[in-house]
Amino acid sequence: MEHSPEQIRNKIERLRKQIEEHSYRYYVLDSPVISDHRFDELMLELQRLEDQHPEFITPYSPTQRVGGRASERFPKVVHSEPMLSLANAFGEGELLDFDRRVRNTVGERVEYITEFKIDGLSVALRYNSGIFEMGATRGDGRVGEDVTSNLRTIRTIPLRLKQNSSLEVRGEVFMPLEGFEELNNKQTEQGLSAFANPRNAAAGSLRQLDPAITASRPLDIFIFNLQYIEGKEIPTHIQGLQYLKEQGFRVSPGYRVFDNIHDVIECCLDWQQKRDELDFEIDGMVIKVNSLRQREMLGATSKNPRWAVAYKFPAQAKKTRVKDIIIQVGRTGALTPTAILEPVRISGSTVSRATLHNEDYIREKDIRIGDRVLVKKAGEIIPEVTEVLTNERTGNEKEFRMPDKCPECGSAAVRTEGQAATRCTGIACPARNRRSIIHFVSRDAMDISGLGPSIVELLLDNNLIKDASDIYKLKDRKDQLINLEGMGQKSAENLLDAVEASKTRGLSRVITALGIPFVGTRAAALLAEYFGSMDALKDANAEQLTAIPEIGSVMAQSIITFFEQDQNVRFVERLEAAGVVMSTGKKDNNRAQPFKGMTFVLTGTLAGYTRDQAAGIIEDLGGKVTSSVSKKTDYVLAGDNPGSKLDKAMKLGVRLIDQQEFDSLIQQGDENINRDLEVKQ
């Protein structure tokens, strides 16, 4: 019997709703009501109908969780509201101080909610009329990466809500411990490197260029905040979580409401002891004010909300044995002693090595080969030996001596008076060079995708590069590149494209990439902003450098010493000759800020630029862009096909401007904007 297009569309929609409901029961409620076989049958039937009738495929269909290939560089997304980090509390006293500040500000009874501080990757999810529209990583808090295609693969993220709500939520993508162990077993079986911990695995999986790889990884998500919702007033955080549960989200589990800080503290201490009972990593508890009205009264600093705090658990310490002590040569030539340990599980990952920092650290703690020791993760990241269990010594332990020659190149290893580090004196030390190149191409530096440690080794072994500057000559050696083992035409072209794109990363990235001792990403950004060019930085003296906040005398001297070395100057010159951008346009801090103090909301489609670009213009002129209209909104910029925000603005009496007026104001110049806005309204 022939079915009409409308009947087919209705059947497809019924199948989708069935599958959505069963997915919710299986992945979120953990309470399936049909067999896996029956679920697979429903999916196959839906897939067959969509294959036959592609005109009925929609972005929210369950078959679209793994889409096409994502772009090779994730687009940037400006968050509607900054994704602020939380201030930390490390003891009961700091939680009591937090409570005192909150109560003094609001002047009334306060309820708190406690939630697990899940060790994962924060993301923002936007829904438009109930359909999952966009998902982004936290990034720097203001600008993240659009990873929508990859987030679609996570089964606990609904592609369509129960209601046609337009909203934004915040959540934490993580990897359950059981899934993490299985993934690492697969990595090992395939001869690949194991992930360091579940957080590292989750972050790496979410940033895959191919969504199919992300889909193969056991990622999950807990939603912890309703950021905004159009046309609905929700007065408390707990009501927001309950609403999100009703819409199909898997919200942060184990949350509890308390009416006093002492019960909050008891809850935190309780979970500090029970954290190993969970199937996911937590490194603390989050305490939030429940009332959204009170949150508005408390406000936020430029970095942290004043209505929430993170109670951080102390680092876990475990007992193990030092099997050996080896030397690793860093990119600055420092010889770092490293303990080889009997493997022990700490904070979600298996630890088999721990840094011993330097010779003084070993002497101070009297660490010997064969010792039983306590190991913890400093800041839950870097394993270190914290205590030697001398009462468990057998007499067979061996003292360790720092070598007087570099184990990599045989050059003299020297400890400069007044410094803790012993350094290799060999300029051409292969260990230094290899690690310098790996640092140069890393994400925080020149961010050259496809050029990981194994490819760097391959290029060095085949004499295609000698140092990092040679990376920019690879385009002249494309044929040799293609013929490398495991490379091929497409991989080579992708790599050369990434190398070319890195030339315009910006001055701060180049400074970071140089690997100047003591100069990290934050210092590099400050130096780039202050000096504006590599030439100016190269010629800077100690007085100029230390005039910059956060640049101390030690860092200043390190920068000066770096540029005193002819080989370093020649290296920078080779980068510049290759076309790497060595200067930056410094902001004119004297520019007028006509939108200062004004809040804008954007709605509809803008011709000629995206909403993010329009938001950037407003912010450059001192304004602020938010996602929802309220009485505090100063202006709504309405493009074509505006949504419900326009109606709400009219109802609240918020001033409206269209794109023509906006463009006209920008073209007229800063001095006229304030005046014209007032006249037009």
Average pLDDT over residues 521-526: 85
Is residue 527 pLDDT above 80, yes or no? yes
Integer CA distances (angstroms), 273 to 266, 278, 283, 379, 484, in order? 11, 11, 12, 18, 52
Residue 571, domain CATH = 1.10.150.20
Q: What distance in Å separates the CA atoms of residue 334 and residue 406, rounded to the nearest whole number?
A: 10
DSSP-assigned states of every residue in 577-643: HTT---B-----TTS--TTTT-EEEEESBPSSS-HHHHHHHHHHTT-EEESS--TT--EEEE-BS--
Residues 285 and 327 in one domain: no
Residues 238 and 125 in one domain: yes
Whole-number pLDDT of residue 215: 87
Name which residue leads in pLDDT, 307 or 66: 307
Whole-number pLDDT of residue 681: 44
Residues 322 and 399 in one domain: yes
The band of 620, judged by pLDDT with boundaries at 50, 70 and 90, is: low
Is residue 67 pLDDT above 80, yes or no? no
Whole-number pLDDT of residue 27: 52
Is residue 235 pLDDT above 80, yes or no? yes
Domain end, chosen from 312, 327, 360, is at 312
Domain end, chosen from 502, 532, 559, is at 502
Residues 209 and 275 in one domain: yes
Q: By 3-state DSSP, what share of the chain in percent is helix, strand and coil, each rounded to 5?
A: 40, 20, 35
Residue 366, domain CATH = 2.40.50.140
Is residue 644 pLDDT above 70, yes or no? yes
352 located within any domain: yes
Residues 418 and 468 in one domain: no
Is residue 416 pLDDT above 80, yes or no? no
Whole-number pLDDT of residue 265: 95
- pLDDT of 240-299, one tens digit each? 999 999 999 999 888 999 999 999 999 999 999 888 888 898 989 999 999 999 999 999
Residues 224 and 368 in one domain: no
197 located within any domain: yes
Whole-number pLDDT of residue 35: 63
Q: What distance in Å separates the CA atoms of residue 340 and residue 420, rounded to the nearest whole number?
A: 21
- pLDDT of 206-230, one tens digit each? 888 788 888 889 999 999 999 989 9
Provide the residue type at 275 as one letter.
R
Residues 435 and 338 in one domain: no
Whole-number pLDDT of residue 83: 86
Average pLDDT over residues 78-93: 86
220 located within any domain: yes
Contacts for 558-561: CB closer than 8 Å, 24+ residues apart: 558/516, 558/517, 558/518, 558/519, 559/516, 559/519, 559/527
Name which residue leads in pLDDT, 457 or 294: 294
The band of 69, judged by pLDDT with boundaries at 50, 70 and 90, is: very low
Cβ count within 10 A of residue 409 = 18
C-beta of residue 614 within 8 angstroms of C-beta of residue 639? no
Residue 643, domain CATH = 3.40.50.10190
Residues 18 and 58 in one domain: yes
Whole-number pLDDT of residue 402: 92
- pLDDT of 128-175, one tens digit each? 999 999 999 988 788 888 999 999 999 899 999 989 999 999 999 999
Residues 141 and 263 in one domain: yes
Distance of CA 230 to the CA centre of its chain: 27
11 located within any domain: yes
Query: Which candidate in 17, 76, 117, 274 is catalytic?
Result: 117
Average pLDDT over residues 406-422: 78
The band of 617, judged by pLDDT with boundaries at 50, 70 and 90, is: confident
β-pairing verdict for 624-626 and 599-603? parallel
Is residue 422 pLDDT above 80, yes or no? yes
> First vs last Cα of the chain: how many Å apart?
62
Whole-number pLDDT of residue 72: 42
Q: Which residues contact 428 (CB under 8 A, 6 or more apart)?
A: 409
Q: Which residues contact 409 (CB under 8 A, 6 or more apart)?
A: 424, 426, 428, 429, 430, 431
Whole-number pLDDT of residue 616: 66
Total structural domains in the chain?
6
* Residue 133 backbone dihedrals phi, psi, to 5 degrees: -105, -40
**Which residues form the domain of 31?**
5-64
Clarify whether 117 is annotated catalytic: yes
* Average pLDDT along the chain: 83
71 located within any domain: no
83 located within any domain: no
82 located within any domain: no
Name which residue leads in pLDDT, 74 or 590: 74
Contacts for 125-129: CB closer than 8 Å, 24+ residues apart: 125/151, 125/157, 125/168, 125/169, 125/170, 125/171, 125/223, 126/80, 126/167, 126/168, 127/161, 127/165, 127/166, 127/167, 127/168, 127/169, 128/166, 129/164, 129/165, 129/166
User: Which pair of structure tokens corresponds to residue 359?
Assistant: 């010779």
Residues 279 and 329 in one domain: no
Name which residue leads in pLDDT, 259 or 314: 259
Residue 32, domain CATH = 1.10.287.610
C-beta of residue 520 within 8 angstroms of C-beta of residue 514? no
Domain end, chosen from 396, 422, 448, is at 422
Name which residue leads in pLDDT, 381 or 363: 363
Q: Which residues contact 526 (CB under 8 A, 6 or more apart)?
A: 548, 549, 550, 551
Residues 98 and 186 in one domain: yes
Residues 388 and 474 in one domain: no
225 located within any domain: yes
Whole-number pLDDT of residue 513: 92
C-beta of residue 388 within 8 angstroms of C-beta of residue 371? yes
Q: Which of 53-67, 317-331, 590-604, 666-680 has the highest mean pLDDT?
A: 317-331
